Each structure stands twice: as structure tokens, then as C-alpha cells.
Amino acid sequence: MPDALWTADEIAQAIGGQVAGDFAVSGVSIDTRSVEPGDLFVPLIGVRDGHDFVPQAVANGATGVLAARAVDAPAVVVADTFKALEALGVAARERAPQCKRGAVTGSVGKTSVTRAIEAGLRLAGKAHASVKSYNNHIGVPLTLARMPRDTERAVFEVGMNHADEIVPLSGFVQPHAVAITTVGPVHLENFADGEQGVARAKAEIFAGLRPGGVAVLNADNRWFDFLKAEAEKVGATVWSFGEATGATARLTSFQVEGEGATVSVDLRGETFSFPIRQTGVHWGPNSLCVLLMLEALDVPRETALAALAAFAPIEGRGAEKTIRIPGGAFTLVDESYNANPVSMQAALKTLGARKVAGRRVIALTDMLELGEDSARFHAELAEPIAAANVDMVFLAGVHMKSLWEALPPTRRGGYAEVTEKLTLALTGAVQPGDVVMVKGSNGSKAGALAAALATIDLGEQG
């Protein structure tokens, strides 16, 4: 395999393991369900011992195994497979010194911003990026281990639920540029000092920043001054984005036009406009964050703008579908992947700004990990719902009961403690011309509502 990602000897040398059968691999996987032919399978030990799944991984096409005990397959044997995966990630980084690396974190928008940056990197040359939301203590080293040696640019998503989780991840990546999309009230139940603790945890991304690196920060965020000071402590050059006066990339206009928008910016005194395939108001500042990150990673501006012009909304994060029903069709806006107070308000503002032929309908499920202020955060959504002129509201979850009680009867469409019990009322209420937005935390099963709407049986509606 001349273009192998890793050979058995290279793996053994990188992690200090023993070769037990020669092989070469073109990928790395930790899950038998996603193993592809030519992969290295890394069995991790969690609730189940991944070694139990080695036969299945081999049957699915894995050509080698990183193993901590004897297996019936070509392998590199190590003492600890998780530590070995980390070491392999570091080795991948070190063997690609030419690679410019970026890292993205934030309370809202980090996955979409990472994907948009990736689009620009791929247009510019040989690029690498995390898949899905592989942003934790396993996902980051796994993404590094998958990085080809000739990669020119790479971007990594970095997440956290608690303090002290991002420091080691930033150390693995050693980014040349980092972005914090925003800081807001998420994972609050894990921080005794609330949002300030979240801001400190996000600032951990500066820990691994390369000397002379760039920190791209949200000038409109209440924690900007704190984050800027933390970035400067490590010698970072700070670039900012947003509507605030003095921002490196200052948003001067965001105009929704059909299924996209035009963004106008003042970038270091130069003014210009560019189209994007997004309608969410948060994509005004987000697109500027992407522009600055791509600049920091040496992507030409025309390439960056071309990538933004082509980048479509991601499934579960604003993707739209037209669903046919008797008498016409309705538009499903799928925001079901995640939710917190910041992203909820942004999504509602976007819904309120769009022109609709019928009604604005929303189906919301619980926002999770908000701690003792959860009831207040949910109830306070009544105001942006009213401002967005939402006609009908469907809610699911014990926390959403607080919002249900704060709504006027004229807006109440239906409520259920369990998401699945809301499905019939929601699908039965949709009418032609409606725009229906579904949003909630992934753990509260908002996706089930989006799926039900996307698969309404025309025969049953007749």
C-alpha cells in the first residue's frame, strides 16, 4: 500500500508497541459499525472491552489491530490502547510539520463553523478535519491519528462539559490559530461559578496555541475582554469579529435573500459584501469568524469566499426540507441537533425575520445541563417567541413545562412530558405554507420530532 496512512512498523515506532503480523492501513476506527476496508481498529476499554469486537472489525475489513492483548489478527501490541491512540495522534502531528492547524470551540456554532472552515481548507489544498462532532478526549486524538502525512491544513473541533478538559486537547493539536465562536450559558450544572466558569474553560484552548498564533474571538460577546486578556497571556495575536466598533472584521449588514443571505463587512478598513447559503442571523458573525480563521491558516480570500458561498446548512443545524402534504407543502427547519438559550434565541430571531406564506410553528424540546436556573432559562423563551411572531408552539420535556406555563393560550399547540407523545399532535397540526422549526438538546430527542415531520405519510393525511 504505497499511500498507506500507517504501516505496522510506523505504528510500533510511534507508540512503542510490538509488531505481531505485518500490515498497512488507510484509516483508523474505534467503532466496528464504522470500520471501512483497510482500517486500523483500536479497541478501547469502556463499558465493554473493545477487544471483544475484534473479529467483527476484521470481518468488516480492518487490516490491523492496535491491541492490549492477544488477538486473532495482525496487530501492534501495547499496554494501553487509549494511551497508544493518543501517542499515534501526536506522531501524526509531528510527521506533518508543514501542516497549519486550526482549532474551534464555543458554546454555540462550533461544529458548523468547523465544517465551513474545512470547506475552505479543502478548496485551498490537501486538508484534514474531524468528522461529525469528534471533539472530546477520544475524538481529538483519533482525528489526529487519521491525518495523512502530506496534509497542508487541518481544523479540529474541541469541546468540553467540565473544566480542565480542553487543555490536553489543545496540547494535542498545537494549533496555529484558534476560534471561540461565543460563550454562553451551557453546561452550567457543571460549573459552580456559572457562565464565568464556562468562559474560563473555553479559554483553555489557548493553552496549546503555537508561538505567534492567532486567536479569533467574538467582539460582541460579554466575555470578549476576558478572553482577549487570556489569549494575550500566551502571546497570541487577537483578531475579532462581530458588530462591535473596532472589530477586526466588523459586520455592517446581514440581508436574507431567498435561501441565502448577503453579508457586508468592514475588514481592517476594507469594505465588501459576499453571499452565503445560510439564513440564520448568527451566520453574519459566524461567516466572519470563518473568514478570519481561513486567513490565519493561509487560505486566499477568494478561496474562502467561494467556500462560504457554497457551504450549505448541516443536517440538524438549520437544514431545510420541503415536505409535501395534501393541499401543498410546508417547510421543515431542522435545528434538532442541539440547543441552549443562546442558540434558541438566534434561531427564533431568524424565524421571525423570514417571510412565510402560512404560519410560523415551532416544536421545542428541553435544553439540558442548565443547572438550577433551568426553569428561568426555559420560561424566558416566551419573549423571543412573541418577538418572532410565532403562531403555534409545541413543547416536550419536563423543563419545557416552564415555557408552556409562560405562553399565552393563543400560542399553545401542544405539550407532552415525553417527546414521543408529542408527535401525533405536531404532525396533525401542520398545514400547507407553514414554516416549522424543530429545536432542542440532542439528549431530549428533538430529532425524533424532525424525523416524524420529514416522513409524514401522505396517505394518512388525506
**Nearest by Cα to 426 from 343, 306, 325:** 325
Which residues make Cβ contacts (< 8 Å) with residue 155, sequence separation at least 6? 101, 102, 103, 104, 114, 117, 118, 121, 127, 128, 129, 130, 293, 297
Nearest to 439 by CA among 360, 375, 376: 360
Q: Is 343 annotated as a binding residue?
A: no
Contacts of 132 (CB under 8 A, 6+ apart): none
> Which residues are bridge partners to 101 per DSSP?
154
35 is in an annotated binding site: no
428 is in an annotated binding site: no
- Per DSSP (E only), the strands in 181-292 are 214-218, 237-242, 249-257, 260-267, 270-276
- CA dist 123 and 119 (Å) reads 6
- Take residue 327 and report the three cell numbers written for it: 393541499
* Strand residue runs (E) in 144-269: 153-157, 177-180, 214-218, 237-242, 249-257, 260-267
At position 83, the amino acid (one-letter code) is K
CB 452 within 8 A of CB 348: no
Return d(Cα 216, Cα 114) in angstroms, integer.
13
Distance (Å, rounded) from C-alpha 60 to C-alpha 136? 26
The verdict on whether residue 32 carries a ligand-binding annotation is no
Report CA-CA distances (Å) from 284 to 216, 248, 427.
15, 14, 32
Q: How far apart are CA 13 and CA 298, in angstroms?
A: 32
> If residue 91 lies in a helix (H) or strand (E), which one and from where to where?
helix 81-94
- Find, among 51, 297, 290, 280, the residue nearest to 173 by Cα: 297
Does the annotation place 197 within a ligand binding site? Answer: no
Side chain identity at 202, as an amino acid letter?
Answer: K
Cα separation, 155 vs 54, in Å, equals: 30
| 419 marked among binding-site residues | no
109 known ligand binder: yes
In degrees rounded to 5, what are phi and psi of residue 151? -60, 135
Residue ranges for the known binding site for ATP are 106-112
Instruction: Could you list the residues known to form a binding site, using ranges.
Output: 106-112
